[in-house]
Amino acid sequence: MELQGKTLTFRKYFIFFIGQMFLASILFSFYNFTNPSTVNNEVLPISVLQEPTNKSKIILVWTWPFGDRFPLNECPPYNDISGCIYTDNITLYSSADAIVIHHRDVCYSKKRLPQIPRPPNQYWVWFNMESPSHSPNLDIMDNLINLTMSYRADSDIFSPYGWLEPNEQEENFTIPPKTKLVAWAISNWNPHSKRVQYFQKLKKYVSVDLYGRQHLDLPRNEHENTLSKYKFYLSFENSIHEDYITEKLWMNALTFGCVPIVMGPSRQNYERFIPKDSFIHVDDFSTAEELAKYILKLDKDEKAYQQYFTWRSRLHPIGHTNWQTHYCRVCKALKEVSAHKTISRLRAWYK
Ligand SMILES: *[C@@H]1O[C@H](CO)[C@@H](O)[C@H](O)[C@H]1NC(C)=O
Ligand SMILES: *[C@@H]1O[C@H](CO)[C@@H](O)[C@H](O)[C@H]1NC(C)=O
Ligand SMILES: *[C@@H]1O[C@H](CO)[C@@H](O)[C@H](O)[C@H]1NC(C)=O
């Protein structure tokens, strides 16, 4: 996500939410590529609204992230939220066991943080899916936060943009029919950014279809239909940071069945989350021209192209994440957290 890309991102969340409502037959289970653990497949989403008891942990959503509302107390089944009540009712602040603070909604003023004295034993959960480049005023959080929740794998609550899960049995993955070569959907067009400059070089040697604001139209409900026709998708992140791998990889490339060409953290960093033979990294090539030659070579060599899908017999991507995916993780973390702790300086870590 990025500031100027909010419209597209919001649209995506909206589409995916609606999609999820209708695709309740989609099986969901949790799988962390670096630390495999699965839960039984079940139908998504299930509603687990429950009567509050005086033992329930109250989790207060301090602000709706970027103003986006979503159903509370409705979670994917791999998140056991029994024993927790999520609420956005600020008047419950004093009895809340945890409050979830979305960084970008509060970071411009300390006044946006709770002003009344903090109840003892209350956890403040810092939530942020933006990269450090788009997370100003981290200092405002010094000595206030007890738990972090972000895409960073070493967060207290690791909540990535997507992940892989094992298939129940070996599968023959069918590559979507391909009629086009390379696509890129970009909403935040900054001519000075590394990714746009790289693209300008790349397009001299291979044609790339651009979607997004000021480019080809990509209607709300046509993302999959449009992008899946491409053999390759440019999953170029807006900034380069450890573990910062967004829906550009998980959704636009992997979920839609395109081979991702990534620009982001190192290849080694990507390989912590996805198999090494599932993607192409711009760093694999000394120049954009070399990458273009490789793309054109794969375009003529069907066998070699198909090699990028062999991992699909074992694994499948989960790219349909939304706000609930993240907030729903707080309950479990709260039940498991053992010791009191405070994060003294976010900035020292989040960079
Ligand atoms: C918020 O909680 C207070 C205290 O329980 C309650 O009186 C009030 O009706 C709630 N507000 C909403 C909008 O649910
Ligand atoms: C996958 O395809 C291979 C070769 O066509 C075939 O032998 C195998 O039975 C198929 N496996 C499944 C699970 O369909
Ligand atoms: C959270 O951090 C605050 C601020 O340092 C601290 O006073 C509080 O005891 C911590 N709470 C928990 C539950 O760890």
pLDDT digits (tens, 9 = 90+) for 312-325: 999 999 999 999 99
Atom of ligand 1 nearest to the CA of 90: 1
Closest by CA to 168, choosing from 10, 40, 289, is: 40
Computed on alpha carbons and rounded to an integer, the radius of gyration of the chain in Å comes to: 21
pLDDT band at 17 (very low <50, low <70, confident <90, very high): very low
| Residue ranges, CATH 3.40.50.11660, the chain | 163-319
Q: Of 43-52, 72-81, 132-141, give the lowest mean pLDDT range.
A: 43-52
Listed residue (201, 230, 204) closest to 216, CA to CA:
230
Per CATH, the number for 163-319 is: 3.40.50.11660
Q: What is the mean pLDDT of the chain?
A: 87
Q: Are 39 and 77 in contact (CB under 8 A)?
A: yes
Known catalytic residues are 130
Do residues 220 and 167 make contact, with C-beta atoms less than 8 angstroms apart? no
Q: Ligand 3: distance of its center to the CA of 343 in Å?
A: 9
The ligand 3 atom nearest the CA atom of 339:
14
Is the confidence at residue 32, as pLDDT, over 70?
A: no
Q: Which of 254, 204, 258, 200 is nearest to 232 (CA)?
A: 258
Q: Using 50, 70 and 90 to split pLDDT, how confident is the model at 262?
A: very high
Kindly report whether the peptide bond that precedes residue 45 is cis, defined as omega within 30 degrees of 0. yes
- Among 40-54, 292-306, 330-344, the range scoring the smallest mean pLDDT is 40-54
CB count in 10 Å sphere of residue 171 = 12
Taking the centre of ligand 3 as the mean of its atom positions, its distance from the CA of residue 32, in whole angstroms, is 29
- Residue 55: the pLDDT is 82
pLDDT computed for residue 340 by the predictor: 80
In angstroms, the CA 98 to CA 147 distance is: 10
The bound ligand whose nearest atom lies closest to the alpha carbon of 313 is: 2
Structure confidence at residue 54 as a pLDDT band (50, 70, 90):
low
Pick the CATH number of 44-161+324-349 from 3.30.160, 3.40.50, 1.10.3210, 2.40.128: 3.40.50
pLDDT tens digits along 95-121: 999 999 999 999 999 999 999 999 989
| b/e map 298-311, b = 16+ CB within 10 Å | bbeeeeebeebbeb
Please work out whether the CB of residue 340 comes within 6 Å of at least one atom of ligand 3.
yes
What pTM, to 2 d.p., does this model score? 0.84
Place of tokens 């090494």: 276
Ligand 1 mutation pick, 58, 64, 89, max ligand atoms within 8 A of CB: 89
Contact criterion met (CB below 8 Å) for 44 and 20: yes
pLDDT for 22: 42
